[in-house]
Amino acid sequence: MDTSLTYAEQLDREDPLASMRDRFIIPVHNGEAQTYLLGNSLGLQPKATKARIQQILDTWSQYGVEGFFMGDDPWMKYHDHLIGPLSNIVGALPHEVTVMNQLTVNLHLMLVSFYQPSGSKRKILCEQKAFPSDQYMLETFVKHMGMDPDEVILEVSPRDGEDTIRDEDVLLAIEKHQDELALVFWGGLNYYSGQVFDMEAIAAKARSLGIPVGIDLAHAAGNIRLHLHQWGADFACWCSYKYLNSGPGAVGGVFIHERHHHDIKLNRLAGWWGYDKETRFLMEKGFKPVQSAEGWQLSTPSMLLYACHLAALEEVQLAGWGKILGKQEQMKNYLWTLLEDLQQTAPSGHLRILTPRDWRGCQVSIFLAKDGRKIYDALMEQGIIIDWREPNVIRLAPVPLYNTFADIWRFYNAFKSLL
Ligand SMILES: Cc1ncc(COP(=O)(O)O)c(C=O)c1O
C-alpha cells in the first residue's frame, strides 16, 4: 500500500465528488483549512445554507403570516421538499418519514406510541452504554410510567475482553427474553465504537416474536445505506446535524412504518400540526391525525431549521447518494490501510482499533493505551480536528461530501510522527 501524500492527492484528483468540497465552508486554523474529521459530531455548513435561510426571512418580511400560503415557496408545502431526499437516504416510503423536533424529544414521542407494557411483557432491551441521552430517555420514560428502570431495562453487553456487542448475542437476548419484552430499542451505529449493528436481523427477530422495534439512527442517517421500510422496524429517529450537515441543533427526522399510520388505537401525544390537513383550520374538537408519519407532528415547524435542512439535503442530491456511499467505501479502505500502518508503528498493544474491521460508515474509534490525551491535544493544535471520548478513545470520521483523501493522509502523517 502506498502511504505517500502523492498517492492521496492522486485519489483526490480521481474523485468524482471532488468539486463538492468547495460547496462547504471549511473552518480555518492558523490561516489554513482545518483537517476537519468530525462529521460524526457536527457536519460542516453548506455555502447554500445562508441563501436558503435568507429566502425564509424575505418571505417573512414580504408576506408576514401569509408566507405560509404565498410567495415562491409557501411554508405550508416546505416539509414536502424534505421528504423525497430524506426517504431516499433512510430507505423509507416518503409518507413514512416526517421532519420535526429533535432526536431525544422524538424518541420520547415514539415510546408513547410503541412502548405498551402489559402483563408480563414490560421490559425494554437495549445496548449497554447506549448514548447517554438514550439512557436518560429510557430511564425517565419508564419512571414516568410508574416502573423501576432497574427492573425494566435489560442491556446486552460485549463479551468479556471484547469491545463490541456481537449481533448474535442481541438476537439470542431477544429470543431468551421474548416473553418479557415490550420493546427492542437499538442504536443502529454505536456512537463510541463506530460499530454498525445488523439492524435487518434485529428487526426481523423482534418482529417474528411480535415485539415492537425502534432504532436510533443518530450516527447512521446520511452515513450508511439503510432500508427502513424493508427491514420493517416500527420506528426510527435521527438527528440531522451530523452526516446530514443541517446545523447545530438541527431539526430531527422520524420514520414510522406505514402499517401504523391508520391505527387509531395507537397512543400518541398530539398537536394541531399532526391534524388532518384538509380540515385542520376548521379548528374542531377531537384529534384526527394525518394518515402518515406526519400525523405524529405536534407543533408549527421552524421554517429556519427546515431551510438549513433543505440546503444540506440538496447537496446530497447534487452529489448523488449512491456516489457518496461509493466514496465513503473507498475512504474507509484507504483509512483502514493507513491505520494498520500506524498499528505497526506503535509499541505493541498501544493502539487498538475499536471499530470492527468490516465496518461500514465514516467513523472509526481508536483506543490508545497511553498518552492518548496528549496525542489528541497535539493533533488538535495542528488543526487536525477529531474528538476525544473518556477514558482514552479518539474518534474521527472523514466524510465524502467535503473531506479529501489528503485530509486522511494528514491525520495519519501527524499521528505517526506523534507515535
Ligand atoms: C446516538 C445518539 N442518541 C441521541 C443523541 C441526542 O440527540 P439530541 O441532542 O439531538 O436529542 C445523540 C447526540 O449526539 C446521539 O449520538
The pTM score is 0.97
Last residue of a domain, one of 318, 347, 380: 318
Q: Is the same domain home to 152 and 130? A: yes
Q: Is the same domain home to 349 and 364? A: yes
State mean pLDDT over 87-99. Answer: 98
CA of 237 to the centre of ligand 1 (A): 10
Q: Is the same domain home to 249 and 363? A: no
What one-character DSSP code corresponds to residue 52? H
Q: Is the same domain home to 255 and 350? A: no
State mean pLDDT over 45-57. Answer: 98
Q: Is the same domain home to 261 and 326? A: no
CA of 203 to the centre of ligand 1 (A): 21
Q: Which atom of ligand 1 sits closest to the CA of residue 187?
A: 1
**How far are the Cα atoms of 20, 46, 60, 173, 384 from residue 410, in angstroms, in the given order?**
20, 23, 45, 43, 8
CA of 135 to the centre of ligand 1 (A): 11
What's the total number of domains in the chain? Answer: 2
For residues 38 and 397, is the Cβ–Cβ distance under 8 A?
yes
Q: Is the same domain home to 246 and 388? A: no
Does residue 103's CB lie within 6 angstroms of at least one atom of ligand 1? yes
Is 47 part of any domain?
no
DSSP letter for each residue of 159-205: PTT-SS--HHHHHHHHHHTTTTEEEEEEESB-TTT-PBP-HHHHHHH
CATH number, domain of 271, equals: 3.40.640.10
Is 86 part of any domain?
yes
Q: Name the closest-CA residue to atom 7, ligand 1.
A: 103
CA of 364 to the centre of ligand 1 (A): 18
Is 343 part of any domain?
yes
Is 48 part of any domain?
no
Mutate to test the pocket of ligand 1, among 38, 42, 100, 103 (most ligand atoms within 8 A of CB): 103
Q: Is the same domain home to 391 and 338? A: yes
Q: pLDDT band at residue 177, thresholds of 50, 70 and 90?
A: very high
pLDDT of residue 37: 98
Q: Is the same domain home to 260 and 356? A: no
Last residue of a domain, one of 287, 318, 349: 318
Q: pLDDT band at residue 360, thresholds of 50, 70 and 90?
A: confident
CA of 132 to the centre of ligand 1 (A): 8
pLDDT of residue 140: 98
CA of 239 to the centre of ligand 1 (A): 7
Q: pLDDT band at residue 346, thresholds of 50, 70 and 90?
A: confident
CATH number, domain of 11, equals: 3.90.1150.10
CA of 41 to the centre of ligand 1 (A): 10
394-414 pLDDT tens trace: 999 999 999 999 999 999 999
Q: Is the same domain home to 113 and 203? A: yes
Q: Is the pLDDT of residue 359 over 80?
A: no
Q: Is the pLDDT of residue 182 over 90?
A: yes
12-32 pLDDT tens trace: 999 999 999 999 999 999 999
Mutate to test the pocket of ligand 1, among 40, 131, 237 (most ligand atoms within 8 A of CB): 131
Q: Which atom of ligand 1 sits closest to the CA of residue 252?
A: 10
CA of 71 to the centre of ligand 1 (A): 35
196-227 pLDDT tens trace: 999 999 999 999 999 999 999 999 999 999 99
Percent of the chain with pLDDT over 70: 100
Does residue 239's CB lie within 6 angstroms of at least one atom of ligand 1? yes
Q: Name the closest-CA residue to atom 13, ligand 1.
A: 218
Last residue of a domain, one of 260, 291, 318: 318
Q: Is the same domain home to 146 and 225? A: yes
How far apart (Å, rounded) are the C-alpha atoms in residues 112 and 121? 16
How far apart (Å, rounded) are the C-alpha atoms in residues 311 and 48? 6
Q: pLDDT band at residue 160, thresholds of 50, 70 and 90?
A: very high
pLDDT of residue 264: 85
Q: How high is the mean pLDDT of the chain?
A: 96
Q: Is the same domain home to 291 and 403? A: no
Q: pLDDT band at residue 195, thresholds of 50, 70 and 90?
A: very high
Q: Is the same domain home to 21 and 59? A: no
Show the domain range for 196.
53-318
> Residues 174-178: contacts with CB within 8 Å, 24+ apart?
174/125, 174/202, 174/205, 174/206, 174/209, 174/211, 175/205, 175/209, 177/123, 177/125, 178/209, 178/211
Q: Is the pLDDT of residue 381 over 90?
A: yes
